[in-house]
Amino acid sequence: MFDLFFQSSSEGEPLWWQMLASGLGWTLATAAVAWVIAFTLGSFLGVVRTMKNQWLVNIGNAYVELFRNIPLLVQFFVWYFVLPGLFPAVKKMVNDMDPTTHQFVTACVCLGLFTAARISEQVRSGIGSISQGQRNAGYALGLTEAQTYRHVLLPMAYRIIIPPLTSETMNLIKNTATAYSIGLVELFFRTREMGETTFQYFHAFGAATVIYITIAMTANIIMGIIEKRVAVPGYISGAK
């Protein structure tokens, strides 16, 4: 039953397992770049939303509402079709790009900004869960607001939010499949291609299912190790 993976669609084409492997590569690359964008922007927005300045809080809240209330698929279409159509400058830039690069960049930006909204919620609630006394202690030591965030609040907040951050990371990896809609040749795209070319849908989808489960389990184990290493002593999860 595994013969199929060692065949190719036609003479000279890569074997099916190689096609799936290349798709997996795109999936992981997209997820990695998008994660960096999401984590950076999400942390920034999360911090901004816990500050005193009401204007900054409102802008942060508006960002979250905007990106949470539009389906991911529609966001993909907006980035891929609407933006170049609205702005001639973007259109010119896109036309100069290789189509695959365009799809990859769109997928990274779209997933990154989408996930940033979710991570900012987690960072915000992580900071909110730290008692006010810690912030005051920082100020009492003469730290500036930025230093208090950097040395007191964020190191605690990140450790507290590791479990929800893990599930968000897994959501991000799963969401890369939606990039299939704009034609990015990631794992799901290759799976469908294999199914449609060979008519062996069960083989193709079965392989994809196994791969996605493996990714999810690996991500879980890695985050579990990190969680143990950085656990805060005295908290329920970090009883040491």
Q: Give contact residues for another protein (rule: CB under 8 A).
A: 65-66, 68-75, 77-78, 81-82, 85-88, 170, 174-178, 180-181, 188, 191-192, 195, 201-202, 205, 208-209, 212-213, 216-217
82 vs 225, beta carbon nearer another protein: 82
Spatial CA neighbour of 153 closest among 49, 41, 35: 49
Distance CA 177, CA 82 (A): 21
Distance CA 103, CA 177 (A): 13
Distance of closest approach, residue 139 Cβ to another protein, in angstroms: 32
Distance of closest approach, residue 175 Cβ to another protein, in angstroms: 7
Neighbours of 225 (CB within 10 A): 10
Q: In the structure encoding, which two tokens stand for residue 235, read together?
A: 């908290």
44 vs 205, beta carbon nearer another protein: 205
CB hemisphere CA count around 200 (13 angstroms): 17
150 vs 192, beta carbon nearer another protein: 192
Distance of closest approach, residue 71 Cβ to another protein, in angstroms: 4
82 vs 137, beta carbon nearer another protein: 82
Distance CA 157, CA 121 (A): 12
